[in-house]
Amino acid sequence: MKDGLILLIAGLICAGGAALFFRLFGSEAFNVITLLTLVSVLVDNARLRRRLRDMGAKPEGKRTWL
């Protein structure tokens, strides 16, 4: 019972957050989501490259963009 109630509350909070997000950004919401995804992928890629370099791995390809 307690777990179900917590899950229901979490679902309502997520639904409210999503409704607020789409109300604030309107038709630009897709662009915001795309931008956030692109930035997070680039940051994660840089983090993984740094971790590989620290482990001693040598890059095979030549990077031209960062």
pLDDT digits (tens, 9 = 90+) for 22-36: 999 999 999 999 999
Sequence length of the chain is 66
The predicted pLDDT at position 61 comes to 66
Q: What is the pLDDT of residues 33-60, one digit of tens each?
A: 999 999 999 999 999 989 988 888 776 6
Angle in degrees, CA 26, 27, 28, rounded to 5:
90
More confident residue, 66 or 26: 26
Alpha-carbon distance 35 to 37, whole Å?
Answer: 5
Which pLDDT score is estimated for 65? 62
Give CA torsion, residues 46, 48, 36, 18, to 10 deg: -160
Q: Give the model's pLDDT for residue 66.
A: 60
**Nearest residue to 1 (alpha-carbon basis) of 62, 35, 9:** 9
Q: pTM value?
A: 0.65
